[in-house]
Amino acid sequence: MGGLKGRDLLSLADLSAEEITALLDLAARMKAGNVTPIATNGYIPVLGLLFYKASTRTRVSFTVAMAQLGGQVIDLAVSSTQVGRGEPITDTARVLDRYVDILAIRTFEQQDIETFAEYAKIPIVNALTDLEHPCQILADLQTVQETFGTLSGLTLTYLGDGNNIAHSLLLGCALVGMNIRIASPSNYQPNDAIVQQAKTIAAGQSEVILTPDPIAAAKGAQVLYTDVWASMGQEDLADSRIPIFQPYQVNEQLMTYADKDAIVLHCLPAHRGEEITDGVMEGAQSKIWDQAENRMHAQKALIASLLGLV
């Protein structure tokens, strides 16, 4: 492919529909062991991980993916780098640019990764912000594709907080021609600008629906998706949100409204008994573990493409 060499991935909408299709195809071939990366003639590419928030899946899957591509990883723990003591992003970005080949950043403000991208020439990858989580949604789309053999025309219903996951799902589903329904309490709907962007991308070819009604949203859907009711940085709001979000729990009763072949996805980590029941998480329709595995394949395809290794 090679088409993404040198690019940034700050928002899922930085990719076109064709680029997502090509990445998912590459990820599937990598998962099957059918891709030999381009030889780097002894040069070892290095990925920096700059995470201001906790991570298991993203950190480990990026690290393993890079190792499998023949590269190395530097874990730039914020607490032990100068950026954690207030060195400006504009300075940090220009310095890291001289050392590493690609930088994955997990932080709060979307503006911060945009500043990194402005000041660094190397590819900057959004490894989660408060606004988006594009790497997660690439793995989610891979999981849907390998289950149903297609994406276009399917319906994904997201239940819960209109957060970073909801935002990247809105953009990702619209880009690949999937219908997306977001069911959330009225004060927790997704960012209006992202909803409008998704509607523009969908251009009337697929549905972008927001509703406070979880049952109407679940009806006939092929994918039910949920995430925590309080994201990282909102821990103090978690208890007060439980009664507000309870009607949006993905449980055995809600599953009866979905398509009989529906699958359940959750980006993890999960709070069992809150946004999803233990039974649904462990049930036959759960693809949550395949979804977690696909983080590694999708990111391997992404890194290889951004570095021009394929």
- Residue ranges that bind ligand CP, judged by CB under 6 A: 55-58, 128, 136, 267-268
- Nearest distance from C-beta of residue 302 to ligand CP, angstroms: 14
- In three-state secondary structure terms, 93 is helix
Where helices occur in the chain by DSSP H, the ranges are: 17-31, 57-68, 89-99, 110-119, 134-148, 164-176, 192-202, 214-218, 238-245, 252-255, 278-282, 288-306
Q: Are 224 and 157 in contact (CB under 8 A)?
A: yes
Contact partner at residue 163 from ligand NVA, ligand CP, none, CB < 5 to 8 Å by partner kind: ligand NVA
> Looking at the DSSP assignment, which residues form a beta bridge with residue 182?
158, 210
Nearer to ligand NVA, 8 or 227 (CB): 227
Nearer to ligand CP, 138 or 258 (CB): 138
Contact partner at residue 56 from ligand CP, ligand NVA, none, CB < 5 to 8 Å by partner kind: ligand CP
Nearer to ligand NVA, 164 or 179 (CB): 164
296 is in an annotated binding site: no
Of 146, 143, 183, nearest to 294 by C-alpha is 143
Contact partner at residue 179 from ligand NVA, ligand CP, none, CB < 5 to 8 Å by partner kind: none
Contact partner at residue 157 from ligand CP, ligand NVA, none, CB < 5 to 8 Å by partner kind: none
Contact partner at residue 144 from ligand CP, ligand NVA, none, CB < 5 to 8 Å by partner kind: none
- Nearest distance from C-beta of residue 248 to ligand CP, angstroms: 19
88 is in an annotated binding site: no
7 is in an annotated binding site: no
- Nearest distance from C-beta of residue 248 to ligand NVA, angstroms: 14
231 is in an annotated binding site: yes
Nearer to ligand NVA, 6 or 269 (CB): 269
Binding residues for ligand NVA (CB under 6 A): 128, 163-165, 227-228, 231-232, 267
Q: Are 48 and 104 in contact (CB under 8 A)?
A: yes
CA gap 256, 94 in Å, rounded: 53
Nearer to ligand NVA, 128 or 250 (CB): 128
HSE (side-chain half, CA atoms, 13 Å) at 106: 22
Q: Which residue is nearest to ligand NVA (CB)?
A: 231
Q: Which two tokens stand for residue 36?
A: 């030999």
CA gap 164, 128 in Å, rounded: 8
232 is in an annotated binding site: yes
> Residues of 138-164 as b/e, b for ≥16 C-beta within 10 angstroms?
bbbbbbbbbbeeebeebbbbbbbbbbb
- Nearest distance from C-beta of residue 182 to ligand CP, angstroms: 18
CA 71 to chain centre: 22
268 is in an annotated binding site: yes
Q: Which residues form the catalytic set? A: 106, 133, 136, 227, 267, 295
Q: Are 168 and 143 in contact (CB under 8 A)?
A: no
- Nearest distance from C-beta of residue 55 to ligand CP, angstroms: 3
Q: Binding site for carbamoyl phosphate: which residues? A: 55-58, 82, 106, 133-136, 267-268, 295
